[in-house]
Chain A
Amino acid sequence: MKTVARTLMQCFLMLSLFLAGWAGAQAGEQPRAYRAGSLAQIAQARQGKPFVVLLWSLECSVCMKELDFLAKTLREHPGMDMVLISTDEASAGGEASSVLELHGLGKAESWIFAEDDAQRLRYEIDPAWYGELPRAYFYDAAHKRIAVSGAVEKSHFDAWLAAGK
């Protein structure tokens, strides 16, 4: 049984995280507003460099385990360039930031869908993607990419890192 004090402490911690996330979102920091053209912008900023894009949602419980694994991967490879895109509504930006913070991904570049027509945004990312989550794209230095539906695993990262050497 949790004590009242611990519950209050947890609430305080959560609120601090949430408000920090919310304040960040208000200040135009994380998560950034993902609109049509955002993926091109993300790639443009990484000319000649490999990176990974991970799409997730607060509604997707399978994604939560993925976030833990991603945080661990980032700790093992501190230089890895990882971009997280939440497919939730933009109004959930504060909560999305709090969740990433809790999972140790507070420093990763984070975006959230910011247009009403999510289907259009998904199509622009990948015309063959039905919207299942989690979804990952491993870009090589030439920006050729491999798509993965479902939780990414160590083998995906190992193969991608090995190919980039």
Chain B
Amino acid sequence: MTVSLIAAFSPIRRWLAPCLAAVAAPLWLAGCGASGELQGMGHAMHGHASEEDRRLPMSAAFGPDGRLWRVSVEGKQVLVDVSGDDGKTFAAPTAVNQAPQRVRVRAEDRPQIAVDAGGVIHVVYSAELPQPSSSYYSVSTDGGKSFSEPVLVSDTAAEANTYENNVLVTPDRRVFVFWHDERDRADWRDAGASIYYAVGGPAGGLSKSSRKAAGDICECCRTAVKVDVDGSPVLFARAIYSGTVRDHGLIKLNGAADAWSSSRVSHDEWSIGVCPEQGPALSIGPDGRYHATWFSQGAKGSGLFYAYSSDHGAHFSPPRSFGDAGALAGHPSVLSLGAKVAVAWQEFDGKEKRIQAMLSTDGGEHWSAVKTLGRTESEADYPLLVGDGQRIFLQWTTRRDGFQMLRVE
């Protein structure tokens, strides 16, 4: 019997980074200056950040006054900026973290932003230290002029990786921060993570103790998090059923303050030990109807699927297949304004990436023909649908054209 060296020690991803950081952190600080000046990536810096230097995966959300708030990453800095013209132009960005951090930016694990009814801006992101991936939270109560010093969200941040964060604000201005957490894994190399969360209010001040919403969650797929019409959070995630099946389930508060229950939604029977890196999407319309989209390669269902629920997730419509499997259709997004619902996804033919979309005007019963909203041959982020309650936009960032907000209707 052979025992892997890695099994004899703590896992490398758990402590290589802290060891390195002990040596490297002073170098970063020396290189960046204590003020955390921006580190360009091969571009000359002129004044504040130039858009070209930003990493492609960003997040954007409309605030109560109709302005669009955006969070992005450049070098070792998380930046927030605001647009008064639906994303065409942005004001100079504000730095969230004053001390430089090695921020993790991946299409599946990007900084997230939410603005509450009073205009308070909440940001979450993943960065190295104390673990290779640790989740941080910061808040701005002065309209984005400054941000609080980022705090670790997990109460076991020193021992377990946390990543793939979400931040949610309810109409009554409660704040929920959700993240993937490795604390419950006996062996970190095993499949499955847990979703933990912390709660806060409009002034920030996230709860110190972490609470568990679900276990046996696919460790590498983003979770979709939305607010139901009654103000309670609803999660839609790829979970692991029967040890190996990676299908999707809803995770909801079960009446009581901290009791969560899960119910399986998709039955594609994708029984495989892989990291698909394709999390699902969820939208809850003002009419309370749930709209879900997901990706699978299951024995019973393969490709992209859409389904809706008119009873808050108890039952879903039969899954509707969409997208061109011959062009790697993936990474779907969905957004409902009520009767009007949009679904957008990505396709790639080896040369060109296309963002495809379809629209429904009757709450998801019937759908329009597929329309191409954008094309590029350059590197591109996933498509994300963003709404202001009245209009639907496609948020799409490409290396060639930068950040775009394209009207979907």
| Residues of A participating in the B interface, judged by any CB pair closer than 8 Å | 10-11, 14-15, 18, 57-65, 68, 71-72, 75, 95, 98-99, 102-104, 116-117, 119-120, 123-124, 127-128, 130-135, 149-151
Contacts and interface: CB of A to CB of B under 8 A. Distances in A.
Contacts of A68: 4, 6-7
Interface stretch (B18-26, B149-157, B224-232, B401-409): B18-26
Nearest to A9: B9
A62 B189 contact: yes
Given A11-B22, A99-B12, A132-B274, A61 B6 contact: no
Given A11-B22, A65-B189, A102-B6, A133 B274 contact: yes
Contact of A130 (B2, B20, B330, B379): B330
20 contacts: A10-B10, A10-B15, A11-B19, A14-B15, A14-B19, A15-B20, A62-B189, A64-B189, A103-B6, A119-B348, A119-B353, A120-B379, A127-B328, A131-B277, A132-B275, A132-B276, A132-B277, A132-B278, A134-B274, A151-B273
Contacts of B16: 14, 18, 95, 98
A132 B23 CA distance: 34
Contacts of B272: 132, 149-150
A58 B13 contact: yes
Contacts of A58: 13
Contacts of A60: 220, 275
A61 B219 contact: yes
Contact of B191 (A61, A117, A120): A61
B188 interface: yes
Given A102-B12, A130-B297, A59 B273 contact: no
Contacts, number: 109
A102 B15 CA distance: 13
Nearest to A12: B19
A98 B12 CA distance: 9
Interface string B177-208: 00000000000111100000000000000000
A149 B274 contact: yes
Q: Identify the interface centre among B20, B106, B275, B399: most chain A CB within 10 Å of its CB.
A: B275
Interface of B: 2, 4-7, 9-13, 15-16, 19-20, 22-23, 106, 188-191, 219-220, 272-278, 295, 297, 328, 330, 348, 350, 353, 378-380, 399
B274 A123 contact: no
Contact of B399 (A59, A116, A134, A149): A116
Given A61-B191, A102-B5, A130-B328, 15 more contacts: A14-B12, A15-B19, A61-B190, A62-B219, A62-B273, A62-B274, A68-B7, A72-B2, A95-B12, A98-B16, A99-B6, A103-B4, A103-B5, A119-B348, A130-B295
B297 A62 contact: no
Contacts of B189: 61-62, 64-65
A116 B219 contact: no
A104 B5 contact: yes
B19 A132 contact: no
Contacts of A99: 6, 12
Contacts of B23: 15
Contacts of A15: 19-20, 23
A117 B295 CA distance: 21
